[in-house]
Amino acid sequence: MSPRRILAVLEWRASDAAVLERAVEIASESGGYLTLVMIAPTPLRTPAGPYCIPRMSAEELRAEAGAALARAAALVPPDIPLLTVLDQGRTADVIARRVAVAAHDLVVVRRRRVPFRAPASAGSAPVTVVAG
C-alpha cells in the first residue's frame, strides 16, 4: 500500500474515537501522514426572554474544541506524521477546503445514515471516503 494523505474529520462527537482509530490504523498500514481536523461548533442562538439558559460563547466553544483536538492528537502514535487543524463551518465545506489545500487522497468521517458525497468543489483529484 502506498503512503496515504489521510484527513480525519472530528466533529466533537462520541463517534470521533472510531474515526481517529480508523485513521490511525490506515496511516500505520500505509506509512502515510495524518491530518486531524476538528470542526468547532457554532454557538447556538438564544432567544431573548425571561428564561435564557447560559450558552458558551464562540471563543469558549473554539477553546473547548481545541482542547478536544489536543486530546485526540495525544492518542496518535509518535511515528505517524501528524498535523492538526481547528476549523469552523459545514462539514462538507471544511472537507472540500482541506482536500483542496493539502491534496488529501483519503478522508475518514463518522458513519452517517446518508452516505457522504464529496462536494464538487473538492476538485478532480480522486478522494476515497471511509467511515470510521
45 within some domain: no
The count of residues in the chain is: 132
Closest C-alpha among 116, 129, 110 to residue 15 = 110
**The predicted structure's pLDDT at residue 124:** 42
70 within some domain: yes
Tell me if the pTM is above 0.75: yes
The parent domain of residue 13 ranges over 5-32+58-131
80 within some domain: yes
99 within some domain: yes
49 within some domain: no
Q: What is the pLDDT along the chain (132 residues), one digit of tens a residue?
A: 566 899 999 988 888 898 999 999 999 999 999 999 999 887 766 666 666 666 778 888 899 999 999 999 999 999 999 999 999 888 888 888 888 888 888 889 887 644 445 554 444 444 566 655
Long-range contacts formed by 16-21: CB under 8 A, 24+ apart: 16/68, 16/72, 16/110, 18/110, 18/111, 18/132, 19/108, 19/109, 19/110, 19/132, 20/72, 20/75, 20/76, 20/132, 21/132
Report d(CA 16, CA 68) in Å as an integer. Answer: 10
**The predicted structure's pLDDT at residue 121:** 46
**The predicted structure's pLDDT at residue 3:** 67
SS3 62: helix
Report d(CA 75, CA 81) in Å as an integer. Answer: 13
**The predicted structure's pLDDT at residue 13:** 82
SS3 18: helix
**The predicted structure's pLDDT at residue 26:** 92
Q: What angle in degrees, to the nearest 10, is found between the helix axes of 16-30 and 58-74?
A: 40
Report d(CA 92, CA 50) in Å as an integer. Answer: 37
Structural domain count of the chain: 1
